[in-house]
Amino acid sequence: METEVGESAIKPIRKHKKIVSGITISIFILLIIYFGMAIYFMNHFYFGSVINNINVSGKSVEDVNKQMASEIQTYKLNIKERGGKSEQIRGAQIGLKYDANADFKVLKDKQNPYKWIWAVFNTKDSKMIAKVKYDKDLLKEQVGRLSCFDSSKVVEPKNASYKYTEKGYVIVDEIIGNKGDKDILYNYAIDAVSTGKTIIDLESINYYVKPKYTSKSLKVVATRDMLNKYVSSKISYTFGEDKEILDGTTINKWFTVDENNEITFNEKYVESYMDVLASKYNTVAKTRNFVSSSGKKINIGGGSYGWSINKVKEAKDLISMIKEGKSIEKEPAYYQTALARGNNDVGNTYVEIDLTGQHLWFYKNGKLITQGDVVTGNGGSDKTRTPSGIYKIDYKETNATLVGENYASPVKFWMPFNKGIGIHDASWRSNFGGGLYKTGGSHGCVNSPYEVAKTIFNNIEVGTPVVCY
C-alpha cells in the first residue's frame, strides 16, 4: 500500500519538471536567435531598409555603397503616358550623382542592432533619402523634349457639346485629349529624381488637362433638355389663307451655347426672320395691280395703306414663346392692318380717285355708294400736288377748319388720308371736274361736292383705302 501511494505522488512532480525544462530551453533558443540577429545587424541593415526607394535589406554598408553607385549609374525615370505609351529620362542625361556628403553609414548607425525586433513594427529608422545632385536645367530640357509636349501630337481636351438631329438635340461626348501641364510633370520629375523614384504615372498625378464638362455633367444634361424644349416649339403664323411654319429646323440656328453651357439667343437671327416675313407679307407702299372703274388695269405703288408687321414686338413675343416651348397658331403683331388679304388687299370697299379725270367713286362691299367730279391739287407744284398711291382714312371729323399758308377754310366733312391731305366738301366751289385743278386747284386735298362728301362721310370707316392714280 505505501509503495503504490508514493509512485502516484511522484508523477506530477516529473510532469512539472518537464514543462519547466521545455520553457527554459525555448527561452534559451530565443535568446540565441535574438542575440544572433543582433550580432548580424551590427554590420548589416535592417530587413526592409530602403535608401532612395532602393531595397538594401540585410546588406552591409560596403555592399550598399557598391549597390547605390551602380543603381545611380543606370537610373532612369520611366514616364507612363496615356494610351500605353512610355518615355524615359536617364540619369546620365541630367548629370545625376550622389552628393559627396551622402553617407549610407549614417542610416546604419541609426539602426540599433539590439532593437531589430522593434524595426519590424516601426520603419522610421529603415528608410533614408540620400541627397543627389543633378542639373535642373538639363532636367527641364529633357522634360520639354518628351513627345507628350509635341504640338503635332497633342490633342486638346474638349467639353461635351450638342448636335441637332431630326429627333432634337443629342449630347456629343467630350474629347479627353492628351494635353498636359508641363509644370506639374516637371515638379514631379524633380521629386522623383531627388528620391530615387523610377516611375511617374501621368494619369495618377493629374497631369492631363481634363474637360470641364462631360456628357454626364448635370449642367450639360440640363442644357440639352432646355435646348430640346426650345426646338420643340412650333409657331404657325397665319396670313389669311397662307401660313408660315416656324419649328426646330430653323429655331436651332438662332442660339449658341457658350463654354459654361449657357444658352444665348442671337436676336439678330430672330430679327432677320421678321424681316423675311415683313418683306413677304407687308403691303404698305407696295405696287399693286388695280382695275379702275373704267376697266383699265393700273399699277399703283406708294401710299400708307396696307399690312405692316410690328417686327420689334413680334420678335420679342417670339423669343418668349420659344423659351416656353409653345406650339401655337397665331397672327403676328401689326403696326397696322388692311381690310383684305392677298395680292388685292384693297378689297371691295374703297374710295377711288382719278387725278387725271378729276373724278371720285366710293364703293362699299362691292357696291357703288356715290361718285362725282372733284377738284384736286395742282400737279404743277409739289406743295399743292395730290400724290398718287394707296392710302387709308386716318380719322373723320365734322365742322373742321383747314388752316394753311394764307388760308383758313371751314368744312363740314373732313376725312384726311395723307397727313394734311384729305377728302372734304368745298362750299366755296360751284363747279368741279374738268381742268379746274390746273389753274384753280386745291392745296392738295380732294374738294368734293357737298352731297358726295356727306355720303362718303356717313358710310365710310376709318382705315378704308383711298386709291389715287
Q: How confident is the model over 353-366, as pLDDT tens digits?
A: 999 999 999 999 99
Q: Is 12 within the bounds of a domain?
A: no
- CA distances for 395 relative to 79, 115, 232, 349, 422, angstroms: 87, 114, 44, 16, 10
445 given a catalytic annotation = yes
Q: How confident is the model over 78-89, as pLDDT tens digits?
A: 999 998 999 999
Q: Is there a single domain that holds both residue 66 and residue 180?
A: yes
Confidence at residue 116, expressed as pLDDT on a 0 to 100 scale: 73
Mean pLDDT value across the chain: 90
Cβ-contact 468, 355 below 8 angstroms:
yes
Place of cell 550580432: 39
Among the listed residues 260, 160, 171, the one whose alpha carbon sits nearest the alpha carbon of residue 210: 160
Q: Is 38 within the bounds of a domain?
A: no
Residue finishing a domain among 283, 307, 336: 336
Cite the beta strand spans of 131-223 per DSSP E. 132-133, 161-165, 168-172, 199-201
Per-residue pLDDT band for 1 (boundaries 50, 70, 90) equals very low
pLDDT at 343 over 90: no
Q: Is 45 within the bounds of a domain?
A: no
Name which of 6-20, 63-77, 261-275, 372-386 the model is least confident about: 6-20
Q: Is there a single domain that holds both residue 61 and residue 92?
A: yes
Active-site annotation holder among 44, 148, 443, 445: 445
pLDDT at 2 over 60: no
Q: Is 209 within the bounds of a domain?
A: no
Number of domains within the chain? 3
Please report which residue ranges of 337-464 form alpha helices under DSSP H.
436-440, 450-459
Q: Is there a single domain that holds both residue 332 and residue 355?
A: no
Q: How many Å apart are CA 47 and CA 55, to the nearest integer?
A: 9
Active-site annotation holder among 44, 148, 424, 443: 424
Q: How confident is the model over 332-341, as pLDDT tens digits?
A: 999 999 999 9
Q: Is there a single domain that holds both residue 130 and residue 264?
A: no
Q: Is 448 within the bounds of a domain?
A: yes
Q: Is there a single domain that holds both residue 369 and residue 313?
A: no
Q: What phi and psi values does residue 216 have, to the nearest 5 degrees?
A: -95, -5
Name which of 41-55, 102-116, 189-203, 376-390 the model is least confident about: 102-116
Q: Is 39 within the bounds of a domain?
A: no
Q: Is there a single domain that holds both residue 145 and residue 66?
A: yes
Q: Is there a single domain that holds both residue 382 and residue 315?
A: no
Better-scored residue on pLDDT, 96 or 431? 431
CATH number of the domain enclosing 293:
3.10.20.800
Q: How many Å apart are CA 457 and CA 21, to the nearest integer?
A: 142
CATH number of the domain enclosing 445:
2.40.440.10
* Residues contacting 290, CB < 8 A, separation 6+: 297, 298, 299, 300, 344, 346, 390, 467, 469
pTM over 0.95: no
| Residue 90 belongs to domain spanning | 50-160+174-201
